[in-house]
Structure 1
């Protein structure tokens, strides 16, 4: 697995060392493309029935960001992350940046503004980040989906990210990062599926943890994950009957999928690298609607916010411009969710599209 911001280790190669490095530029995410203003709030949840898989002496706690279609109302822009989490990410990668830099990223969502009412309820999408990443890494995708009419729940899985900060100031450091992913894959994936099941209980059950939950349609739920989060989305699609469709963004399927076990809609989007053997192994056994797409010129982190922010810091994003990488992710994930949660056919998923020549329909998936 690639580490968070690994590509930034080569930031501004060859630049002379200055006594006082210049201040980094202001960082921002692209504006959401949908029709609705975006609101957000943070939830702290404790599963009293489950021990933490990394600290068995404690109950499992989650931090969750909710993004949603909002009523246009004044409100402060939401922080991208906290200063403590920013400092841990930057320190973990050894980056020559101010520790609180990621806390300064400009977002589009307004904090704690009212949810826009809707008669049927908004479809719900759960996001699970990659290994060592935290929930802010998928904010650009989350804000865009919310602007298109989805409630989006981004989950932090404590002790699996460089830092997860709780409201009382405690920070869960990455205990799992001391271990190898292949050796702990089943533990990671099954634990994340349990996290998501608990979150769905708290958002769609009889005693919801969020007052805006009355505007969620519990009959239309999708999950999208990046890297190990994608593998977890695959497993959760099998394990939880409430999840109707799932997207795996470049995640190795460490837990094999038994033939015929996944009959629900499933989208694989891979980076431009050698074909993942686990995808080849499990593809024939997926018996529902399915697509396998590869984005030419992309990398493992292309489906996150990292290329956008890295480019603003002067890093070369690679073959595909950073804003283009985010556009492709936003468009194809939204098309999949529209088609399978809203039952609106999206031609983008039917065949290669000349507007997106970098997106290939994999021959192995034909």
Structure 2
């Protein structure tokens, strides 16, 4: 279950069957309107690792500071929304029509880009759509970053290509070896996206069909300052990519382990080797360096700036848009809030998202814009749900 989660959906079974509620995400708080465009990228040098005979194809969203607002982009395109809704609904036997993932976001499609800004990549958790990092991506873009969110094709529930194809999840049964193959693929995907951003910043158009790009987009990318963050497996991806690609200057792991097997101490390179660049660790619930041997190993080997921030009353999906969306679902359907506690915890959802936005922005402001941030020096009364662990 990768979107709402089985527990939240199970509550829908016992509830009356109203029309699908209209979901919303909090507005970004930065001074810039947020524009968005999509790129279809084809790596002709690489075979797809999950589908024999196919080349590797990716779809990425680029959010950027814009000069104006326009037609809002949807949270997910209808073909993806249908697949995710059907997948979720099948688990508990509800009508997929009760779930709507096509609500409007605060990103405007195709509006002009302005200025020149550091670039931040976003990688979602394993088996999760890139859409569920929208609130953080919009916040960073509104604060003056170009944010590139990528799906890992055939690992995400569905990826919609501009020619109408929908690539469904196609992973083999889970194992340590499959997990290692997934991570190797994710790192290759991320490095390929960086290559294509170089093309874009140089005045080219890397889109497979050469679709028109927003005015000023290429000029907006300052690739001399690049960061990366991700949730769960996406945070692991950020670290693993940084080990092999020095183009990424700072990274953040939002509640993701850095190992394939804790019991066998089978960790990734980022844990075994550490990094010499800034890295932020954010965790929730019962996950932290105290319980994660891969984080302990990483911190032993790390040679750069680091912070460990913890939200004790949160849970794993606190670091996704579920934290913003699930409370609204509970309220609209009159559900017992306890049904979502294993997913997003008991933390106040408004404060939790505000804290994530503040600390992630401060981290990239300090390490990509080189502006020291007092928020990173110690606990803040403005964010009482966050603990400093190191």
TM norm structure 1: 0.91
Find the aligned partners of 1:13 and 1:327 in 2 and give their Cα distance.
32
Q: Are the counterparts in 1 of residues 351 and 383 from structure 2 also a CA contact under 8 Å?
A: no
Q: Decide whether aligned partners of structure 1 residues 52 and 328 sit closer, same or farther in structure 2, where only a CA change above 3 A counts.
A: same
Aligned to 1:64: 60
Aligned to 1:359: 386
The answer as to 2:2 corresponding to 1:8 is no
- Offset at residue 101 of structure 1 (A): 4.2
Identify the match of residue 303 of structure 1 among 298, 309, 319. Answer: 319
Unaligned runs of 5+ in 1: none
Q: Are the counterparts in 2 of residues 256 and 278 from structure 1 also a CA contact under 8 Å?
A: no
Find the aligned partners of 1:181 and 1:37 in 2 and give their Cα distance.
43
Q: Secondary structure at the match of 2:367?
A: helix
TM norm structure 2: 0.85
Q: Are the counterparts in 2 of residues 68 and 150 from structure 1 also a CA contact under 8 Å?
A: yes
Identify the match of residue 165 of structure 2 among 162, 170, 180. Answer: 170
Aligned to 1:113: 111
Aligned to 2:368: 341
Find the aligned partners of 2:271 and 2:257 in 1 and give their Cα distance.
15
Q: Are the counterparts in 2 of residues 266 and 289 from structure 1 also a CA contact under 8 Å?
A: yes
Unaligned runs of 5+ in 2: 207-212, 260-267
- Offset at residue 179 of structure 1 (A): 2.4
Aligned to 1:312: 328
Aligned to 1:126: 121
Q: Secondary structure at the match of 2:73?
A: coil
Find the aligned partners of 2:124 and 2:13 in 1 and give their Cα distance.
28
The answer as to 2:148 corresponding to 1:179 is no
Q: Are the counterparts in 2 of residues 80 and 102 from structure 1 also a CA contact under 8 Å?
A: no
Aligned residues: 353
Find the aligned partners of 1:33 and 1:258 in 2 and give their Cα distance.
34
Q: Are the counterparts in 1 of residues 19 and 98 from structure 2 also a CA contact under 8 Å?
A: no
Deviations 1:225-245 (A, max 9, x none): 111111000011111111100
Aligned to 1:204: 198
Aligned to 1:244: 249
Identify the match of residue 134 of structure 2 among 131, 136, 139. Answer: 139
Find the aligned partners of 1:153 and 1:279 in 2 and give their Cα distance.
26
Q: Decide whether aligned partners of structure 1 residues 340 and 4 sit closer, same or farther in structure 2, where only a CA change above 3 A counts.
A: same
Aligned to 1:88: 83
Q: Are the counterparts in 1 of residues 86 and 96 from structure 2 also a CA contact under 8 Å?
A: no
Find the aligned partners of 2:9 and 2:51 in 1 and give their Cα distance.
31
Aligned to 2:189: 195
Find the aligned partners of 1:100 and 1:76 in 2 and give their Cα distance.
25
Aligned to 2:209: none
Q: Are the counterparts in 2 of residues 79 and 107 from structure 1 also a CA contact under 8 Å?
A: yes
